[in-house]
Structure 1
């Protein structure tokens, strides 16, 4: 099973970008405790060092769905801004979403058109007079790469396939991320009041949200008990 996951600050400020970087670290630490492989497909650096606007990961494993149950949705960090000390806001939200339609990533080498040409630049007779350079074009998307790293045409062809696949994947990821950005405001409005995880403090300790209402029930029971005692 494979899933594309994005951790994003959406249109959030610098503080949210800092939270994305912190959450990513914890996210990867928990992945290591499960039989899940991951690959960072794309990342967009934040406006300051050690911050991230978004990061997209490809997860592979059998237990992905169970693992993601505790992660997908909005994440809240409670704390004072380290970038704006006088800022009054103390709750900062980011989102973790699944980028759907992974099956639409269809990369087939049969769809690649290869052209050979002479390598450009200095390098001697073998470089300039032999058609060793390769231009590879993915016909369905029009994406192309030019490779002249090696004096071997076969080696350049192999490298061109790998680079072209990475480029096509990158374009697809960017389109998915654009869709996530477009719907971010709506997601945030819906999920802000019900984060799946809450962290707090500079040390980023995890606070488990108690949704059982056990504490509230016990309080009501005690109040009712005291009320009966007063009646007696």
Structure 2
């Protein structure tokens, strides 16, 4: 192990021990905010401290096994132990390097999921609705909660656009690589001759932004109210409850007519606007990284075709990492963990390679 890496790990181990002592201090225990902050830090570095402890144990065992190589009676057994211990040491060193990779500060955030029908007319709208159901089913599997923020339905039963808030543990970390253009190849229900059509939908995964994250000057907001459209004769059609907010400096605009209350729609629209502005900054940063490493996973480019869902061949293909899987029906029912894990592993491997080469 390199001396610089060793020094960094030793420093983290010392901090872990220091935090353990501090958390037993009565003064800290009675200071709720401080105790929670220190507990959080202690929990974050605990996996690293444990791996370092295991590494030290393996190193000690390896030194002992290597010392037996000179003994003719023990040499054969010692050679076997040395091979196994060296392999284990290398595995732990790689694990430690991975644990040292900087965590995306947005990983623990909730997510605003936005799906829009792309090319393909009504079939694209139906596919957008299928994708929405896929993510909702996945959220249910993970125990996350989902709140619909706005929806624009299509006449054939699909959706032109739908936006929702997904709350739960590390939602952004799990879903952030879903951003991009999703393509479907299948025979639409309206196709009489059985021809396969290709349609698309765009998925945007945006970390939920708090007011402290994105400060918006009220003078930069143009507010428009209008009568909401929709079925039924309730107040959704009889009052100016729908809200459109335009952020003048960027031209970003959001529309919300989900609620009957104009105030509630304005609050939802502001949450959407803040998150889109934060996402805009994330996209800019990722574009800079993409310019430095061509072809990396998860640039978040909305124009990037990220995945194809081929129904006739029962196949899902993720184009960024060359991954192909079958059991499409299960996938569309929310069983997407394997692909998400592969995307995260690919990104981690790329960042690890960058860290080792720098």
Normalising by the residue count of structure 2, what TM-score does the alignment of the two structures yield? 0.35
SS in 1 for 2:178: coil
Distance (Å, rounded) in 1 between the aligned partners of 2:128 and 2:169 = 25
CA gap 1:61/1:16 in 2 versus in 1, 3 angstroms: same
Counterpart in the other structure of 2:47: none
1:98 aligns with 2:98: no
Q: Are the equivalent residues in 2 in contact too, given 1:35–1:63 (CA < 8 A)?
A: no
CA distance in 2 between partners of 1:205 and 1:173 (Å): 38
Q: Is 1:200 matched up with 2:297?
A: no
Which position in structure 1 is the counterpart of 2:136?
Answer: 28
2:304 paired residue number: 191
1:220 aligns with none
Report the CA distance shift for 1:212/1:205 in structure 2 as closer, same or farther (over 3 A).
closer
**Aligned-pair Cα RMSD in Å:** 4.3
Unaligned runs of 5+ in 1: 107-139, 144-161, 181-186, 215-232
SS in 2 for 1:102: coil
Please state how far the C-alpha of 1:19 moved relative to its aligned partner: 0.2
1:200 Cα deviation (Å)? 2.9
Q: Report how many residues are paired.
A: 152
Q: CA-to-partner distance for each residue in 1:47-80, whole Å, 9 max, x for gaps? A: 21x2111110111122212321452222111112
| Residues in 2 aligned to 1:79 and 1:85: alpha-carbon distance in whole angstroms | 13
The unaligned stretches of length 5 or more in structure 2 are 1-108, 214-221, 226-259, 280-300, 325-358
Residues in 2 aligned to 1:168 and 1:213: alpha-carbon distance in whole angstroms: 42
What is the 5 A alignment of 1:10-21?
10=118, 12-21=120-129
Separation (CA, whole Å) in 1 of partners of 2:110 and 2:150: 16
Which of 54, 57, 61 lines up with 2:161 in the alignment? 54
Change (3 A) 1:5 1:89: same
Conserved 8 A contact 2:110-2:172:
no
The answer to whether the aligner puts 1:4 opposite 2:112 as a matched pair is yes
CA deviations 1:98-130 (Å, max 9, x no partner) are: 356733599xxxxxxxxxxxxxxxxxxxxxxxx
Counterparts of 1:42-81 in structure 2, within 5 Å, are 42-48=150-156, 50-81=157-188
Q: Which has the higher strand share?
A: 1
Deviation at 1:22, TM superposition (A): 1.1
Question: How far, CA to CA, are the matches of 2:174 and 2:264 in structure 1?
Answer: 27
The structure whose RCO (Cα within 8 Å, separation 6+) is larger is 1
Cα distance 1:19–1:57, how it changes in 2: closer, same or farther (>3 A)?
same
Native 8 Å contact 1:3 1:60 kept in 2: yes
Other-structure match for 1:163: 261
Asked if the contact 2:114/2:164 (under 8 Å) is kept, the reply is yes
For the residues of structure 1 that align with 2:152 and 2:128, how far apart are their CA atoms? 11
